[in-house]
Structure 1
């Protein structure tokens, strides 16, 4: 099933009443990867006052989530970070917000706003994309059918040719979006000598407006 997460972490810094908040997020595929990312950021900013975090992961159809305030008042940090993840309908993501205390207390409401804002800005800067399954096939066809396959595929969306080799026959490696498997396979099967499933990959796509 398609889901939304980030493309690539873009560390984001926000100053609020002399406190510095630093946001980092990562796209992950397991709870273990989420924990490893949290550990890496916590070690990077081991001198910070707080490294608060939250994650939400779906792995083999099971959901895993957790969050912590890491010494901030209860409910003022981890839960707001997790709340932003939920609001943006993100999956397979971990966010860590680091705080260097600047000497001015923000109060619980101020902390909730600060951790929420830092998470939102970090996710936005890291680019939200939609991840979908793509299926990679190897195709062997003769030269006469190669041009016909390309002509027919140009009428469709949801595919791309990864590799082409010209030898005695023509070999194509093609990536097909999950929802376009049947119509595109139908075209290829009629025009190819051999069609082999090679692997499945997860691919990022720009989120539709």
Structure 2
């Protein structure tokens, strides 16, 4: 079964000010806990003079973590993680940096500030649906390539990503799992087909 999940499309930084405190949100798509920890370390180093660098990440249902980094317990890391859960995201890490402005926000104010920053950075980064596509290589002659193009136009779930024209036509095609059977059937009748690999792609939702 090919995995489908939601994450973010691009890394983004946002900044908001609340009662003279500055909150800076950074987000990145990550594929492992090691990548998440490296990102957290990178942002914490970038803003090493900040009052707090609070964070949360989620890779899968049983691989996640969050930290208040010195803020009162439950006021920062958990609210950030709560936004990851709200948007049903995986493979994502968020760091919210705070520069204290001299005015205390209180427990409720902190929860709201970290939640707001996390939500803003998620929305700015664009939510994307990620799916694994199966990549095949096909070699055929010119007349059959024209037939393949004609037949595939009737179907969804495919994209030709590379082709070479010499004495034969050689091309790579990316196929979504639910359409694989019908597409492979057409291709195997019209040429030589070989499975190559799986590639992950993300589309904004």
Structure 1 ranges of 4+ moved more than 4 A: none
Matched position secondary structure for 1:11 = strand
Q: TM-score, normalization: structure 2?
A: 0.97
Name structure 1 gaps, 5 residues minimum: none
5 Å-filtered alignment, 1:44-63, equals 44-58=46-60, 63=62
Matched position secondary structure for 1:96 = strand
Mapped to 2, the partners of 1:21 and 1:183 lie a distance apart of 51
5 Å-filtered alignment, 1:1-209, equals 1-58=3-60, 63-192=62-191, 194-207=192-205
Question: Do the aligned residues in 2 keep the contact of 1:67 with 1:82 (CA within 8 Å)?
Answer: yes
Q: TM-score, normalization: structure 1?
A: 0.95
Name structure 2 gaps, 5 residues minimum: none
Please list the CA deviations of residues 28-79 of structure 1 after superposition, one character each: whole Å capped at 9, or x if unmatched. Answer: 1100000000000000000000000001103xxx731100000000000000
Matched position secondary structure for 2:80 = helix
RMSD over equivalenced CA pairs, Å? 0.9
Could you tell me how far 1:83 is from its partner in structure 2? 0.5
Count of equivalent residues = 203
Mapped to 1, the partners of 2:48 and 2:145 lie a distance apart of 58
Mapped to 2, the partners of 1:23 and 1:179 lie a distance apart of 37
Question: Do the aligned residues in 1 keep the contact of 2:96 with 2:117 (CA within 8 Å)?
Answer: yes
